[in-house]
Amino acid sequence: MNESKEKIWSEIKRCFNIEEERRVLQIGKEHQAAYPYRKGRVGYGRLEQSMLQKEESSETSLPAHVLWKEARVGKSGVPQEEVLHVYQKCEELSQSLSPDDTKGILSRALDVPEYSGRVRGKGFGVTPTSLSIKKGKAPSNRELHARLEAMQAELDALRREREASASTVYRDASDKDSINCTFQPNIPKGISHSFVVAGTMWYGSATTPIELFGPTRYQWDQGYFQQEIYRRVGGGLVENQSLSEAWSKIPEKLAFYDYISNNPAKGGLFRAGSMDNGDGIAVGWLGHPIFRDKEGRELFVRRMPTFFETFLVVLVDGDGIVREDVPFRRAELKYSVEQVGVIVQFYGGVLNGGSYSDPATVKKYARRAQLGEIFELDRATLKSDGVFRSSPRGWFTFGHASFALLFFFGHIWHGARTLFRDVFAGIDPDLDAQVEFGEFQKLGDPTTKKQGV
């Protein structure tokens, strides 16, 4: 029976490698620290801070052996006798050693370092020297400003001393002072900002909404609002709405954006007055005209480009083929309204459902369709003259671009005037004697200070 037990026990030890585990455990115990650290992940720095707060002490640091003892107090709150023995030994050494030799108290009491390998972190990202270095107070903003002002005063004094001692023709410091970019850094900044705001206003951005400044010229050139209107109408037709119903749901504001008068490039640069002084006050949207010839083909009026004051009236079909026009001379009649038999029908707006076949009426609406959507305009109230004015977007761009160019070229001019002041003054650079500029400005004065080159 005993033999079988011994066999079973030997087999268990062989399978579970018990002897090896015992050997490893014994080695670990031999290498275990004599005075283990019992504060977990709390570093010496955080431990020191908590002790100072708890004691409400005015001190900024604690001795190293005091922290060493506190770090080895377990959950019971009572340190081991070995720890107390080392602490008492440190206290005795602190009384006998000089104040300058306090760093070696703990190492002398232990005789050997606590750990032969890893050094435990002090916490808060500080180095071990933080235990012996006194913590200083960060300077306040007022003190920093005072230091900066003192440094600036010293620099100004050095500059004045250098200028006073210089007796050359022109002083480098004075030249740099006169160049606008040295002590006036806001001028180049203002130039760049003016160009930026002018560009974002003219080309359009999220900071320049059309609700405030009106559309851009590129929205007219690209048919931006026309495409949006056609997209909405197409969506209505997909939902089995009639043309009249689909066009009636187009907001008047969206239709008004698709009108050439809102193009800031149509107003010119020097036409004074508001936009209403041009084509008048918009009263209402007449509707969207659709032109058809006698064969039932839908015709589209070619819209006026941005930089045209007048434009020929041409109607093309869906394939881009010219089907109707308004000629300048009767001898050129080929695609006239009378010959082609064009009619116009309105969808949406005031004239919703209206149809006109009279050639004069068709020509009138074809001319007005060149300018986008057709609106009823009140020209009598403001005595509008029919000449387009630019929108606030155009005036803003023109003003800021003018300011930017004025400051830019003025900056270049004054910088060149300063750098080449001797050339403009007619001073020959090959003179045998140098005359200090500004001392005496009377021609031929023999008392003027001179210095040999």
pLDDT digits (tens, 9 = 90+) for 317-350: 999 998 888 877 766 677 888 888 899 999 999 9
Phi, psi of 222 (to 5 degrees): -95, 0
Alpha-carbon distances, residue 220 vs 149, 266, 418 (angstroms)? 57, 11, 47
Angstrom distances, CA of residue 155 to CA of 1, 162, 166, 170, 185? 102, 11, 16, 21, 19
Q: The tokens 């459902």 sit on which residue?
A: 353
Tokens 């009639």 map to which residue? 242
pLDDT for 403-431, tens place per residue? Answer: 999 988 988 887 787 777 777 776 666 55
List the structure tokens of 272.
């004074």
State the sign of the Cα–Cα–Cα–Cα dihedral 7, 13, 14, 19: negative
pLDDT of residue 124: 45
| Cα within 13 Å of Cα(121), Cβ side | 9
Neighbouring-strand partners of residue 450: 435
Q: What is the DSSP letter of 281?
A: E
CA distances from 293 to 242, 324, 325, 374 (A): 21, 8, 12, 20
Q: Where in the chain are all domains bearing CATH 3.10.680.10?
A: 240-390
Question: How far out from the chain centre does Cα 233 lie?
Answer: 39
Low-confidence stretches of the chain (pLDDT beneath 50)? 102, 114-126, 167, 169-171, 173, 180, 182-183, 452-453
| Spatial separation of the C-alpha atoms in residues 73 and 184, rounded to whole Å | 65
pLDDT at 125: 44
CA-CA-CA-CA dihedral for 311, 313, 315, 319, to nearest 10: -30
Whole-prediction pTM: 0.54
Q: Which CATH superfamily is domain 240-390 in?
A: Photosystem II CP47 reaction center protein (3.10.680.10)
Locate 340 and state its tokens: 């082609």
439 residue type, one letter: E
Pairing of strands 433-435, 450-452: antiparallel
